Amino acid sequence: MRCKDTTALVTGGLKGIGLAIANRLAEEGSTVFITDIDKPSEDLNANINYINADVTNELDWKRVAQLIEDERGSLDILVNNAGVDCVGPVQKTSLKNWRRVMSINVDGAFLGVKHCYDILAKASEKRNGGASIVNISSMLSKVGYIDTSGYNASKGAISSFTKAIAVEFASKNISIRSNSVHPGFVHTPLLQQGMQNLVNEGVADSVDVLLDMLSEMTPIGRMAKPNEIANAVLFLASDESSYMVGSELVIDGGWTAR
Ligand SMILES: NC(=O)c1ccc[n+]([C@@H]2O[C@H](COP(=O)([O-])OP(=O)(O)OC[C@H]3O[C@@H](n4cnc5c(N)ncnc54)[C@H](O)[C@@H]3O)[C@@H](O)[C@H]2O)c1
């Protein structure tokens, strides 16, 4: 029960990494809310409270923060996870697509912190480690990759934003910690769809060929499972990481260690 008696919010919690994080936090005693633009399937864990909300919509954020305040009084853990990719050579990337990835990946996290600030501050005094914000960045905030410049830029922005608010809060004695998580390739619907798009463009014969290639390119020889990212988020969300402020936790099977 590493998050006993806490309240958590995970954005984009219906699939992939967000779903694994929501389940892991719930297993460790947190009352978990998730937001998503998709509709939940029937097998969603009954302990998880689903709210239909778009991270790019400020009115949605106000509604979500109010709902959590009404039901729980405060928020201990905010995980800004919702994200999309943006694949293609920079010279062929449309401004519309660039703005879409920035809007979901960057504006979404900013709006989450802005509108959850009051309920996070309310929770901050209750725990030794204070309230905790975990922003899901990527190893691609740290190294370049072919044909993903918009995505890389959005994840770099998340790292800088995380450090800025971490220092801002700590310097003002506000007990809200903020840290970022940097996964390598994780087998999720996002990655599957990204590979399918490349197959559709004729880059490879099948998704499996591309997935095998990504595994071979990773020093550990495989992609991550969503739960391997969720375990790191759990650590940052819990009081166990009480001295971690503005740090970057890289979970990439050795990709950026080369
Ligand atoms: N899969 C990877 O290899 C990988 C690697 C590094 C970082 N990440 C990051 O991890 C996070 C989760 O990725 P994933 O692979 O689990 O993706 P996913 O597509 O499998 O799941 C993302 C979820 O976010 C939701 N979502 C999308 N737009 C939204 C919006 N505007 N508002 C609310 N919800 C929205 C989707 O409906 C979906 O349920 C993203 O930030 C992604 O960039 C993923």
**Confidence at residue 125, expressed as pLDDT on a 0 to 100 scale:** 84
CB 6 within 8 A of CB 29: yes
**Confidence at residue 201, expressed as pLDDT on a 0 to 100 scale:** 87
Q: What is the mean pLDDT of residues 196-221?
A: 95
Strand partners, 77: 8, 132
pTM of structure = 0.98
Look over the chain and give the mean of its residue pLDDT values, rounded to a whole number: 97
Choose the weakest-confidence range: 33-37, 133-137, 202-206.
Answer: 202-206
Percentage of residues in the chain having pLDDT higher than 70: 100
Q: Which residues are catalytic?
A: 151
Ligand 1 pocket test, pick from 9, 11, 17 with the greatest ligand atom count within 8 Å of Cβ, gives 17
Q: What is the mean pLDDT of residues 111-125?
A: 97
Our answer on whether the CB atom of 252 is closer than 6 Å to any ligand 1 atom is: no
CA distances from 69 to 21, 38, 123 (A): 21, 23, 11
Pick from 53, 70, 56: which is nearest to 10 by CA?
A: 53
Domain assignments of the chain as residue spans, ordered by start: 7-185+225-257
User: How does residue 126 score in pLDDT terms, banded at 50, 70 and 90?
Assistant: confident
Percentage of residues in the chain having pLDDT higher than 90: 95
Instruction: Return the H-helix or E-strand segment holding 18.
Output: helix 16-27
- From atom 2 of ligand 1, which residue's Cα is the shortest distance away? 186
**Confidence at residue 57, expressed as pLDDT on a 0 to 100 scale:** 98
**Confidence at residue 18, expressed as pLDDT on a 0 to 100 scale:** 98
Our answer on whether the CB atom of 190 is closer than 6 Å to any ligand 1 atom is: yes
Ligand 1 pocket test, pick from 102, 106, 188 with the greatest ligand atom count within 8 Å of Cβ, gives 188
**Confidence at residue 138, expressed as pLDDT on a 0 to 100 scale:** 98
User: How does residue 81 score in pLDDT terms, banded at 50, 70 and 90?
Assistant: very high
For domain 7-185+225-257, the CATH superfamily is NAD(P)-binding Rossmann-like Domain (3.40.50.720)
**Confidence at residue 162, expressed as pLDDT on a 0 to 100 scale:** 99
Q: Report how far residue 156's alpha carbon sits from residue 182's, in angstroms, rounded to the nearest whole number.
A: 10
Give the burial class of 87: count Cβ atoms within 10 A of its Cβ; 0-12 exposed, 13-18 middle, 19 or more buried: buried
pLDDT at 226 over 90: yes
Our answer on whether the CB atom of 12 is closer than 6 Å to any ligand 1 atom is: yes
CB 86 within 8 A of CB 101: yes
CA distances from 119 to 31, 51, 88, 105, 133 (A): 15, 17, 39, 22, 12
Strand partners, 7: 31
- From atom 1 of ligand 1, which residue's Cα is the shortest distance away? 186
Pick from 220, 197, 222, 195: which is nearest to 209 by CA?
A: 195
CB 108 within 8 A of CB 86: no
